[in-house]
Amino acid sequence: MSQTAGEKLDKATSAVHSVIDDAARKVREPLDRVAEMAHDASDKAVAAGTQATEWASKQGTRLAAAPKQLVDDASGYISANPLKSIGIAVVAALIVGRLMR
């Protein structure tokens, strides 16, 4: 009972398929774990990016309000002390004029 070339080829093909299927089963679990870890890392990166964006937005709003507050304070001081404000402006202009020479 000798095997024909076709039977030998079928047997070899079957053995190769068996080895491939076995290797795929062995690799599937570690690959699934790696994929899960990659998804977790991606989710954490997105969460950190969202937090950073929210923080930057809040800081930007706070920093944008600072110049307006400074102008409001200066306007209030000038309105309350008009002559003193003019005197301060004149002295500042004289000092800057001297420095520019």
Q: For residue 22, what pLDDT band results from cuts at 50, 70 and 90?
A: confident
Structure-token match 């420095």, residue found = 99
Are residues 43 and 50 in contact, defined by beta-carbon separation less than 8 angstroms? no
How far apart (Å, rounded) are the C-alpha atoms in residues 37 and 71? 52
How far apart (Å, rounded) are the C-alpha atoms in residues 26 and 38? 20
How far apart (Å, rounded) are the C-alpha atoms in residues 63 and 44? 28
Percent of the residues in the chain that have a pLDDT greater than 90, as a whole number = 24
Are residues 63 and 56 in contact, defined by beta-carbon separation less than 8 angstroms? no
pTM, to two decimals: 0.44
Question: Who's near 11: CB < 8 A, 6+ residues apart?
Answer: 3
Query: Mean per-residue pLDDT for 85-100?
Result: 92
Segment 56-82, tens digit of pLDDT: 888 888 888 888 888 999 999 989 999
